[in-house]
Structure 1
């Protein structure tokens, strides 16, 4: 549901892929609904991918030490990506000010 909703909104609604730019993303992330939607998609996709790679490591790494280190790297990378992705989603400023000038956007309040 999350992926199909994401693809529908980003690719089919409006001008499609040609409309995806900073303003499009900023407009979406100005709404808490889309922040939570993208956060859920990030977390679930990362956990799904991590579980798949963990299964591959368990199947193909023959030595216990190799298996251990590959899983440590996998879990560390997953943790870093989930933390950074969460921070980006919740600290993203949809109305940035560059050199004292607020960038245009229909979702930004007038100064």
Structure 2
């Protein structure tokens, strides 16, 4: 969602969720996405961030298995919270320091 087209995207998402039974998540766009190097999140207003964080499709009409994108996040202070990968991206909580990523390695074995 490029900030300049934000209102168009939200309008379309609202129309879509009225017509189609699907999960819809509004995601922030990162500069460099699809061009070989994600750098930083586009500058969204506080209102746009709030809309992305709280927008939901119509999942209450579906009986879907739990999503692999749902995570139990445990913070250093011991607090736990149920979040999705979408929530982590929308809330800019993806800057993990001191972690290693092995995504895809187990698929190549």
TM-score (norm 2): 0.27
TM-score (norm 1): 0.27
| Greater strand content | 2
| Greater helix content | 1
Q: Which has the higher contact order (CA 8 A, sep 6+)?
A: 1
Q: Between Structure 1 and Structure 2, whose CA radius of gyration is higher? A: 1
